[in-house]
Amino acid sequence: MFSQLVVIILLFLATLNFSYQRKPKKPPQTLSRGWGDDITWVQTYEEGLTKMKESKKPLMVIHHKEDCPYSQALKKTFSLDKNIQKMAQEDFIMLNLMHETSDKNLAPDGLYVPRILFVDPSMTIRADIAGKYSNHLYTYQPDDMDVLVKNMRRAKILLHTEL
């Protein structure tokens, strides 16, 4: 009887130890930060500007914060939208930033998140390509993906007609 109790206790402890060891580990942070793992992301604004000039593709800059619920909601919708993911990978140099850059032109109407701006290869920040909100011109919400797609197309078309 005592030996059976010892075996049961040992099995219980082994199971407990095994389940503790199998705790899922958080995957390493990539440059996508959850915005789209199939997209090629640049690490810095300066790298984005260089690649933009070389490739003649517009730069799309996404400003966000990890602890912002609006940023998290936009990220989820952005990463699940196949059309946006495809355009981002094929037609843009992509950068997502959790910290502000030294270029104050990337905050034409203030420092808020999330905000998305486009820069064309002539180094012009496309302040004319804005979202639908008058108080935060460059913000998008999860239900604004149609507006973002339209603006991404505008950034591509204007790129070709201006250069």
Q: Which domains does the chain have, with CATH numbers?
A: 29-162 (3.40.30.10)
Q: What is the pLDDT of residues 32-69, one digit of tens each?
A: 999 999 999 999 999 999 999 999 999 999 999 999 99
Q: Which span out of 12-16, 19-23, 57-61, 121-125 was modeled with the highest average pLDDT?
A: 57-61
pLDDT top residue among 80 and 159: 80
* The pLDDT value given to residue 102: 84
Backbone φ and ψ for 123, nearest 5 degrees, come out as: 70, 25
pLDDT above 70 for 19:
no
Q: Are strands 124-125 and 93-97 parallel, antiparallel or unpaired?
A: unpaired
- Mean pLDDT, to the nearest integer, of 10-38? 67
* DSSP category for residue 137: T
Band (pLDDT 50/70/90 cuts) for residue 26 is very low
Question: In angstroms, how far apart are the furthest CA atoms of the chain?
Answer: 87
Q: What is the dihedral of CA 98, 103, 105, 106, to 10 degrees?
A: -20
* The pLDDT value given to residue 30: 85
Helix axes 145-162, 82-91, angle to 10 degrees: 20
Band (pLDDT 50/70/90 cuts) for residue 14 is low
* The pLDDT value given to residue 29: 54
- Mean pLDDT, to the nearest integer, of 129-151? 97
DSSP 98-131: SS--S-GGG-TT-S-SSEEEEEETTTEE-TT---
